[in-house]
Amino acid sequence: MLPTRHLGKPAPETWFGIVDGIYAIVLTIVVLSYPQLILDAIDKARIHEISYDMLGRLLLSHTMSFFGVFFTGFEIWSIHRALLSLTIPARRKTVFSAIVLSIVAFAPVWIDVNNHLRQEYLITHAQVLETDVSIFRLVFFVLLLFVFAVLAWLSWLEMGQYPDQRKDLSQVLAVCLHRCWLLVAVYVFSLLVPHRGALYIFMFAMLSYFGRDLWLFFRARLVR
C-alpha cells in the first residue's frame, strides 16, 4: 500500500499498526511531560515565594489539563480506529488520515508549550502572557475542531460508498458532529467566563464522556 496508490487488496488491519502506534506514542509523551511540569511548578513556587493556595491552583490546573488532554486524545483514537475498521483502505481515506495523524503527532509539543505558558501566566499575571494564552487556546480549539470535522466528513463520504455499514458510520458521524458543536460551545463559554487554568479542555472532555449521563440525570430530577 502506497500513500497515493493502493496495490492489491489491503485489509482494514493494514492501518491499525501505524494508527495505534502514533496515538500510543503521542499519549505516552503527553503523560511523561506532566511530572516534569509539576516539578517546575514546585520550583517556581519556591523562587517566586507564592502561597500554597496558588501552588494548589497550579497543580489543579495541571491535573485538569492532563485528564482533559488524555480523555480527548483517547476519544479521537477510538473514533479514528472505528472509522478505519468499518471500511477498507482507500486513497482519500489515506490522505485524510495522514492529515489527522500529523496534527495528533504534533500535539505533545503544542500541549507542553501551552502548559508552561499557562503556568507562567498563573504565577506572574503578566498581561502579555494572558494574550498568548488566549491565542494558544484559540488555536488549540481550532485544531481540535478541524480534526473532528475531518473525521465527520470522512464518515459522511464513506456512508455512500458502504451502505452495509451505514448505521455504524452514521453513529460515528453523529459523535463527530456533536464534538464539533461542543467545542464551539465550550470556546464561547471561555470568552464569556474567563478562567486562567485548564478548565475548558477539561470541561470539553468531561461533557464528551458524561454529558449525556448528566443530561439524563438532571432531566429525571426536574421533569416529573
**189-207: pLDDT as tens digits:** 988 887 766 788 888 888 8
* Assigned domain for 184 exists: yes
What is the count of structural domains for the chain? 1
What is the span of the domain harbouring residue 58? 13-222
What per-residue confidence (pLDDT) applies to 76? Answer: 93
* Assigned domain for 1 exists: no
User: What residue spans of 49-126 are helical by DSSP H?
Assistant: 52-86, 91-124
At 210, the pLDDT band (50, 70, 90 cuts) reads confident
At 120, the pLDDT band (50, 70, 90 cuts) reads confident
Average pLDDT over residues 129-146: 85
* Assigned domain for 3 exists: no
pLDDT tops 90 at residue 150: yes
At 38, the pLDDT band (50, 70, 90 cuts) reads confident
* Assigned domain for 8 exists: no
**106-116: pLDDT as tens digits:** 888 888 888 88
Measure the CA–CA gap between 104 and 165, rounded to whole angstroms.
Answer: 26
Report the mean per-residue pLDDT for the chain: 81
**65-115: pLDDT as tens digits:** 889 999 999 999 999 888 888 877 667 777 888 889 999 998 888 888 888
Burial of residue 21 (number of CB atoms within 10 Å: 0-12, 13-18, 19+): exposed
At 45, the pLDDT band (50, 70, 90 cuts) reads confident
Contact between 220 and 182 (Cβ < 8 Å): no
* Assigned domain for 126 exists: yes
* Assigned domain for 5 exists: no
